[in-house]
């Protein structure tokens, strides 16, 4: 199987944007083409990661719209919807297209336009992924987070403050990300005194509602140097996708994300590495509790010990394993379909030495993109090209 | 449901329907195929059983048509010593006291299911009203 390189990447500013989804996708797509030094009509496969443009905006058929807007004709196009993990699933689809030899040059653009909706409406669109027996009780993704956070704190005797420290860390990282929705530090008291959203979690335990887009360009590793110099591309050395139960309460251990365990096991095996080899990671911190769960289920820390790593600064930018140097979904924002693509964008920037003030020493990076409440997961492992 | 033909209101007993499979396991909700590919062989009414609160939250920001605040719990049913399959759990709203406020609950509390005709307003949210039922069971602390 051909190894796959990423030779170009871009992301728009995340936040409240005037642009609609078609314009956001085109903005990121055009920038990624430019970054890779190619034209739209060079693209053989074009994938769009997007959860709900029809529900949010009444705009369907976005891959076709984007292909036309970028003159990426007659590329094969498809929309990848896997809810919040649409971006990661798009990375998987793009990787697959090149690894299988179906495309020599693939572009992936992820994007979502959400902020024109009220919080209640946007929350309901996202909650529509739940099973009818969950939906009729008014469950939301934030309420799953509250349920799981309470159980985690109780089971592992973790202090409430440890969750707040995830928010503090990721906001600190977001200050140095010019694309982030929030570029402002918050202190622990602010997090712990913010309005209650889903007891015991408060406003600062949650990511915001966001507009934005991100894009990546893929080709076989064997020809990557024909597009960009060695060192300016990164290689996908391992990737895995997995699915957990649709109904969240049916999981054997509600504090374990089986999709994270299963997808990362596949990715580690493909890459021939283990969790100790990872130098930097972007995790899906849609809620602070998710950073604990993923850091444990990826094997970085023992079950029930992820909170201690945050307390001890292990996951700080200057720590042993920096997590969410981009600011994470928490501070960067979470435009559903874009988030998994933007995670890989950050790892790409880190591995090519282009992360600016966020730069850490890294040869191997990992991105974990989660849909639903761990329902669908893609784990991607990348290596620097030199 | 009301009996329109007789003109009298005869309430059918609501069933908290879980599925039983040929390997002895039970799931809520029912699935066409059970754990490890097992075949569905029957129905269990969870309304006949007490449960224990595994965890709970109170959601302060609720979607259209949902009560606010909305206290939710994941509970695990006590199906007796004769059941040795995977835990049977449900997520549901916590019942309201006489003042209309959700009861306080804590991890480990014993609760019982109480039927409610409409858990949230059908059609207020994005889900097509005809696509699913809207009645169900809340959980009330056992005295």
pLDDT tens, A319-348?
999 999 999 999 999 999 999 999 999 999
Among A137, A149, A199, select the one facing B93 at the smallest CB separation: A137
Number of domains in chain B: 1
What pLDDT, on a 0 to 100 scale, did the predictor assign at position A44? 98
Share of chain A above pLDDT 70, in %: 100
**CB-based contact A168:A191 (threshold 8 Å):** yes
Looking at the domain assignment, is residue A54 inside a domain? yes
A249, B29: Cβ pair inside 8 Å? no
pLDDT at A116 over 90: yes
Tell me the pLDDT band of B11, cut-offs 50, 70 and 90. Answer: low
What pLDDT, on a 0 to 100 scale, did the predictor assign at position B143? 76
Chain B CB within 8 Å of residue A248 CB: yes
Chain B CB within 8 Å of residue A283 CB: no
Token digits of residue B119:
């858990």
Looking at the domain assignment, is residue B8 inside a domain? no
Chain B CB within 8 Å of residue A2 CB: no
pLDDT at A291 over 80: yes
Mean per-residue pLDDT of chain A: 98
Residue A206 phi, psi dihedral angles, 5° rounding: -120, 150
Distance CA A236, CA A175 (A): 28
Looking at the domain assignment, is residue A103 inside a domain? yes
Range of B86's domain?
Answer: 49-141
Looking at the domain assignment, is residue A243 inside a domain? no
Summarised one tens digit per residue, pLDDT across range A74-98 is: 999 999 999 999 999 999 999 999 9
pLDDT at B1 over 70: no
Looking at the domain assignment, is residue A134 inside a domain? no
- Predicted interface score ipTM higher than 0.85: yes
Contacts of A125 in chain B (CB under 8 A): 126
Tell me the pLDDT band of B12, cut-offs 50, 70 and 90. Answer: confident
Range of A71's domain?
Answer: 4-117+209-226
Looking at the domain assignment, is residue A161 inside a domain? no
A 10 A CB-CB count for A38 gives 19
Nearest chain A residue to B59, by CA:
A198
pLDDT at B8 over 50: no
Token digits of residue B36:
């490890």
Chain B CB within 8 Å of residue A58 CB: no
Nearest chain B residue to A202, by CA:
B60
CATH code at position A222: 3.40.47.10
Looking at the domain assignment, is residue A135 inside a domain? no
Contacts of B121 in chain A (CB under 8 A): none
A150, B66: Cβ pair inside 8 Å? no
Token digits of residue B14:
């609501």
Looking at the domain assignment, is residue A67 inside a domain? yes
pLDDT at B37 over 50: yes
Among A55, A120, A137, select the one facing B91 at the smallest CB separation: A137
Nearest chain A residue to B129, by CA:
A136
What pLDDT, on a 0 to 100 scale, did the predictor assign at position B13? 86
What pLDDT, on a 0 to 100 scale, did the predictor assign at position B2? 35
Closest CA–CA distance from residue A319 to any residue of chain B (Å): 33
pLDDT at A109 over 70: yes
**Helical H runs in chain A?**
21-36, 53-57, 62-69, 86-99, 119-127, 132-135, 141-156, 160-174, 188-193, 258-271, 288-297, 306-311, 328-332, 336-351
Looking at the domain assignment, is residue A367 inside a domain? no
What pLDDT, on a 0 to 100 scale, did the predictor assign at position A172? 98
Looking at the domain assignment, is residue B65 inside a domain? yes
Distance CA A332, CA B134 (A): 37
pLDDT at A282 over 70: yes
A 10 A CB-CB count for A256 gives 16
**Residue labelled with tokens 């697959």:** A96
Looking at the domain assignment, is residue B29 inside a domain? no
Contacts of B126 in chain A (CB under 8 A): 55, 124-125, 128
pLDDT at A317 over 70: yes
Pairing of strands A106-112, A45-49: parallel
Number of domains in chain A: 1
Q: Is A362 helix (H, G, I), strand (E, B) or coil?
A: coil
Looking at the domain assignment, is residue B127 inside a domain? yes
B133, A196: Cβ pair inside 8 Å? no
What pLDDT, on a 0 to 100 scale, did the predictor assign at position B5? 39
> Looking at chain B, how many residues does it have?
143
Share of chain A above pLDDT 90, in %: 99
pTM (global) more than 0.90: yes
B67, A138: Cβ pair inside 8 Å? yes
Q: What's the whole-number mean pLDDT along residues B14-28?
A: 97
Chain B residues near any Cβ of chain A (below 8 Å)? 27-29, 54-67, 70, 72-74, 86-87, 89-93, 107, 119-120, 125-127, 131-134, 136
pLDDT at A54 over 90: yes
Among B58, B62, B89, select the one facing A250 at the smallest CB separation: B89
Tell me the pLDDT band of A216, cut-offs 50, 70 and 90. Answer: very high
Nearest chain B residue to A135, by CA:
B127
**CB-based contact B111:B68 (threshold 8 Å):** no
**CA torsion sign, B130 to A62 to A238 to A328?**
negative
The closest of A55, A60, A98 to A79, measured between CA atoms, is A60
């Amino acid at each position: 199987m051909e190894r796959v390189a990423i030779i170009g990447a871009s992301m728009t500013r995340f936040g409240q944007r005037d642009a609609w989804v078609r314009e956001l996708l085109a903005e990121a797509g055009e920038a990624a083409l430019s970054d890779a030094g190619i034209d739209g009509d060079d693209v053989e496969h074009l994938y769009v990661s997007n959860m709900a443009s029809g529900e949010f905006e009444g705009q369907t058929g976005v891959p076709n719209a984007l292909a036309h807007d970028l003159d990426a004709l007659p590329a094969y196009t498809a929309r990848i919807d896997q809810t919040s993990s649409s971006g990661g699933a798009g990375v998987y689809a793009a990787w697959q297209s090149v690894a299988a030899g179906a495309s020599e040059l693939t572009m992936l653009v992820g994007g979502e336009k959400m902020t024109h909706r009220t919080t209640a409406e946007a929350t309901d669109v996202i909650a529509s992924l739940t099973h009818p027996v969950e939906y009729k009780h008014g469950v939301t993704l934030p309420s799953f987070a509250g349920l799981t956070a309470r159980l985690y704190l109780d089971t592992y005797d973790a202090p409430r403050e440890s969750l707040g420290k995830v928010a503090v860390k990721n906001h600190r990282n977001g200050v140095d990300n010019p694309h982030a929705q929030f570029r402002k530090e918050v202190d622990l008291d602010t997090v712990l005194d913010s309005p209650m959203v889903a007891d015991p979690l408060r406003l600062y335990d949650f990511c915001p509602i966001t507009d934005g887009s991100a894009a990546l360009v893929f080709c076989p590793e064997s020809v990557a140097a024909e597009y960009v110099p060695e060192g300016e591309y990164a290689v996908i050395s391992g990737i895995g996708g997995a699915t957990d139960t649709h109904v969240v309460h049916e999981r054997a251990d509600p504090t374990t994300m089986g999709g994270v365990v299963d997808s990362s096991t596949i990715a580690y095996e493909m890459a021939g590495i283990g969790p100790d080899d990872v130098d930097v990671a972007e995790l899906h911190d849609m809620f602070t509790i998710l950073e604990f769960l993923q850091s444990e289920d990826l094997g970085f820390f023992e079950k029930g010990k992820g909170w201690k790593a945050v307390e001890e600064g292990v996951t700080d930018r200057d720590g042993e394993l920096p997590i969410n140097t981009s600011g994470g979904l928490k501070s960067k924002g979470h435009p559903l379909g874009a988030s998994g693509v933007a995670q890989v964008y950050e790892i790409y920037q880190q591995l090519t030495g282009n992360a600016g003030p966020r730069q850490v020493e890294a040869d191997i990076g990992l991105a974990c993109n989660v849909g639903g409440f761990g329902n669908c997961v893609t784990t991607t492992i990348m290596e620097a090209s030199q | 449901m009301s009996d329109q033909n007789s003109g009298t209101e005869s309430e059918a007993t609501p069933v908290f329907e879980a599925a039983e499979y040929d390997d002895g396991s039970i799931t809520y909700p029912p699935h066409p195929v059970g754990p490890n590919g097992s075949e569905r062989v029957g129905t269990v009414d969870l309304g006949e059983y007490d449960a224990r609160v595994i965890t709970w939250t109170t959601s302060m920001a609720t979607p259209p048509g949902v009560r606010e605040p909305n206290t939710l719990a994941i509970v695990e049913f006590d199906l007796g010593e004769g059941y040795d399959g995977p835990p049977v759990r449900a997520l549901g709203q916590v019942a309201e006291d006489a003042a209309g406020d959700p009861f306080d609950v804590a991890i480990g509390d014993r609760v019982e299911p109480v039927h409610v005709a409409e858990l949230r307003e059908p059609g207020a949210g994005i889900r097509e009203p005809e696509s699913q039922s809207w009645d169900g069971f809340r959980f009330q602390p056992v005295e």
